[in-house]
Amino acid sequence: AFRAFDSNKFAEALKQLDAIDARQPDLAASKNLRGVILMRQGNYDQAEAALQDAARIDPKFWNARFNLAEIPFLKKDWTEARNRFEQLLSNGESDLAKEASQLIHYKILLTYLLEGKDNMVDSIQAKLELSPDTPAVDYVKAAVALQKKNQKEAQDWISVAEKNFPPQLNKLFAESLYEVGWLEKPAGAARPSLPLMTAAERTEKSKAIARAKFEQAQQALRQRDLATALKLVDEADQADPNQAATINLRGEILMQQEQFDQAEAAFKKAAKLDPKLREAQYNLAQIPFKKKEYAKARDRFETLYKRTPGGDKNQAAELIKFKIYMTLLLEGKESRAHAMMDEFQFTGDTPALYYAQAAWEFQHNNPEKAGDWTASANKIYSSALNSVFADAFYDVGWMQKPAAATMPTPAFDTAQAEGSPAVEPSPIPDKVFAANSQGDTTKSEGLALGSTMSAPSGGLDIASAGPTTGQTSVSSANDSASGTGAQPEKPPASATTPGSSDSTAAAAPAESPQTSPASTEQNDHTAAAQASASASPAVEIAPAKAAPSGILARSRMWVVGGLLLAALAILAWVIVPTFRRRYVFNVPSYSRTTSGAAPALFKPRASVTPQKKALQGNGFVGGPR
């Protein structure tokens, strides 16, 4: 319907509106458009009825209320038009945007001018001059000149307005002069329209435009299209100016363009607008780091670290500590750097330790070992976290940024990363990582590595392997439970089954974070062993034979010990009653002196020689029982 209206196809537009009203009779926008079309056709009574319906459905629908005041203006009923315009202002002038408010004041002024009440014109004109955001004042002066039949002066004021204001605003104010008949409308010129929005609606619309431009600028920055990103961030700032996040983004773009002074000025402005915007404070510390002014960068990072909530238990703090470590390492303060590297040891929510170890190796000319550390980090942590930490290596020149790499965006939240491993990290072979990734990430590294001894060669696939099923399951369970230290238990040399070399490679002891990582050759050998193990069906039974002998020996020892205890219990249950019958009743009875003296414990007495009693009955002591 709107497309037909814009094309001046009023009959088609009304037909579309009839279909809309049949489906949704209480739609204010439909009623308003119908009223505008009828108003253009000169059907003012029907137009007013439609517009009143729109205002009744939505009392805050400013367009319908403005159009209701336009009807008597077009009918040249100046008093009624002025009353409706003044009522519109009294009910919510503060909510209207400036151009809408000034347009209504301009319309009121024209009604006074057309009625010959020139004494009211000056006060309204003075009020309009206080807000020179629209061409209202220029068109008021042009209207006064036209009333006095001074076409040239009027045209001069209109030319001034056209020079200083956008065409749409000029057409909007000039339309009233066409309506009253003071100017002739150019042939084919369409009637301008102004969507009347409240100040809150206009602000929300501007913010929505700014958000859209801001997100597009972020996307362009991640794709390293810096020129487009800068253009979009300018548009976002124009739509919603002086927003800290927008200015910070501008600084990030300038920093990537290596315009460090301008970037630092942007970050300072963003931090001033929002002192809690830690991204701007972090970027302020990034500037001297990228300029290789490491002492200055460290001072800023340390200040930011003290202000970061949550202490060491969030990703932001770990990233800042890593940058402090980098400044120490790059300045040659290795003792302090090494001490700080130890602080990363038990933190598993970021790859800080991996990149700290890699930086140490890079600094000491061991790029291959450094590559092992970064490769391990890439296997365990997300690409976003890895790119944030690797950004420091790009700045120093230790690593080359991939051509298609997106820009890292550190997230300064204090929450733990979901799914991040809480283990003590170290470079690990591919096969060990594959086994560990199937387990619980909250287990210690020693436990994870120990469990991998039962993982290779498809050990879980031999559940249908007949008599060996039980043995394999027990061995796998015992093997997983035995890995409690930082290094897994090595299988004995006597295990020479076809899968023994594969198990040995998978269970290679991981080095501590202060030692060198596993070599590239070992990883390649491990991967090859894994491939060969999975290709041979005979190897599938290897875990049952290659179980560590120490574990099996302990199991047998417990079984034998249990059997011995059970045998001793049975023997005791059989022999003890016989022993009691044989010995308890053959003890001779001794006579005692019936003296009432105190016991010998308290008073010494002469020894009494016991006398046996005469046997009674059948000659057994105590008789038969």
pLDDT of residue 457: 34
pLDDT of residue 204: 83
DSSP state of 618: T
Three-state secondary structure call for residue 375: helix
Alpha helices in 148-194 (DSSP H): 151-164, 167-180
pLDDT of residue 258: 93
Q: Let me know if 184 is exposed, middle or buried by CB neighbors in 10 A (0-12, 13-18, 19+).
A: exposed
Total residue count of the chain as it appears in this document:
625
pLDDT of residue 411: 55
Q: Let me know if 584 is exposed, middle or buried by CB neighbors in 10 A (0-12, 13-18, 19+).
A: exposed
Q: How far apart are CA 350 and CA 322, in angstroms?
A: 10
Distance of CA 374 to the CA centre of its chain: 23
Q: Which residues contact 1 (CB under 8 A, 6 or more apart)?
A: 13, 16, 17, 20, 30, 33
Q: Which residues of the chain have pLDDT under 70?
A: 92-96, 189-202, 310-313, 345-347, 403-556, 576-625
pLDDT of residue 100: 82
Q: Let me know if 556 is exposed, middle or buried by CB neighbors in 10 A (0-12, 13-18, 19+).
A: exposed
Q: How far apart are CA 409 and CA 60, in angstroms?
A: 43
Tens digit of each residue's pLDDT (9 = 90 or more) over 85-128: 998 888 765 666 777 888 999 999 999 999 988 888 888 888 88
